[in-house]
Chain A
C-alpha cells in the first residue's frame, strides 16, 4: 500500500470541520424551522460559521500539497 502521510493527515483533518459544519447548519435549520422570519438574521451567522470551520479543513489540504 503506497501513499503519503500528508494525504492521511489531510483526511484526518477533515473530521472536525465536517462535524462542525453539520452542527452549524443543524442549528440554522432548527432556528429557521421555529421562526421562518428570522432568516435574514440567521443566514449571515450560518455562513460566517461555515467559512470559519471550513478554513481548518483547507489548512490541511494546502499543507498536504505543500509539504509533500
Chain B
C-alpha cells in the first residue's frame, strides 16, 4: 500500500521526483500524527533504547561483539566528541551529545534500510527541533557560567578588539549567536538528507521508468540501477558524517560557551 501517491505517472509522462514525494498521507485516522515519518521517529527511539539496554546489561569484562559495538559508539561520543572538544567538564554533556548522535544516526540510516527507505530528518521540523535543543543548551551553559550581562557584553563587545571594528563586528556576532548557528545546524542536516533521498529517488524511479520503455531504454536502465546502488553506499557515509557533524558542532558551541577567552 503506497503511502505516497505516484499513480499519476504513466509510461509516457515521466514525473520526476520532487518535493511532493516527501508528503505522506496519514496511515490511519485523520490527524497528521500517524504519518510514516512520525511513526519512524518513535520507532527509532525504541530501537536505540532496546539496543543499548540489551548490549549493556550483564556487562562482561571481556565484551561480546554486541557489547563491544554499543561501547564503541558510546566511547566514540564520549572521547572523540566530548573529552577532546569540551575539555575537563565534559561528563555533564555526554548524555545530551550521545542522545543527539544516536538519534540522528538511526533516523538517517532509515533512509537506506530496504522497507523503510525514508530519512526522517528530511522533514525540516525534526532538525529544527534538535537545533532548538542545542540553541537552548549552549545559551543556558554560557549564562550559567558567565552570568547574563557579562555574556551579552562579551558577545556584543568582544574584548581585545580596536574600538571602530565594533561597528561591523557587533551585528555579525549577534546574528551568528542568535540566528545563524541554529539555522545552519538545522538546514545543513535537512538539506543533506533531502538531497540524498531525492538523488536515490531519481535513479531508482528513473531506472524503473527506463525499464518500461523501448529496447534502447531497457539497455540503459542497468546503469541507472548501478548508480542507485553506488549512491546508497555514498549516502550511508554522508548520513554517518552528518550525525557526527551535528554532534561535533553542538560540542564546539558548548565548549565556546564554557571558555573564558570569549
Q: Bound state CA distance, A7 and B194, in angstroms? A: 16
Size category, A interface? 10 to 19
Interface pick from B46-54, B59-67, B184-192, B223-231: B184-192
CB distance from B90 to the nearest CB of A (A): 16
Tell me the nearest residue of chain A to B196, going by C-beta.
A58
CB distance from B181 to the nearest CB of A (A): 12
Q: What residues of B have a CB within 8 angstroms of the CB of A26 in the complex?
A: none
Q: Bound state CA distance, A51 and B238, in angstroms? A: 9
CB distance from B105 to the nearest CB of A (A): 15
CB distance from B147 to the nearest CB of A (A): 31
Q: Bound state CA distance, A47 and B80, in angstroms? A: 14
Most chain A CB neighbours (cut-off 10 Å) among B19, B80, B245: B245
Question: From DSSP, what is the main secondary structure of chain B's interface residues?
Answer: helix
A62 within 8 A of B: yes
CB of A59 within 8 A of CB of B191, answer yes
CB of B194 within 8 A of CB of A62, answer yes
Q: Bound state CA distance, A27 and B188, in angstroms? A: 23
A-B contact pairs, 28 of them (CB 8 A): A44-B80, A44-B248, A47-B241, A48-B245, A48-B248, A51-B241, A51-B242, A52-B188, A52-B245, A54-B192, A55-B184, A55-B187, A55-B188, A55-B191, A58-B187, A58-B188, A58-B191, A58-B194, A59-B187, A59-B191, A61-B191, A61-B195, A62-B194, A62-B195, A65-B18, A65-B19, A65-B194, A65-B198
Known contacts A51-B188, A61-B191, A62-B194; 17 additional CB pairs below 8 A are A47-B241, A47-B244, A51-B241, A55-B191, A55-B192, A58-B187, A58-B188, A58-B191, A58-B192, A59-B187, A59-B191, A62-B187, A62-B191, A62-B195, A65-B18, A65-B19, A65-B198
Q: In the A-B complex, list the 7 residue pairs whose CB atoms are closest, starting with the nearest.
A: A58-B191, A55-B188, A51-B245, A62-B191, A65-B19, A61-B195, A58-B195
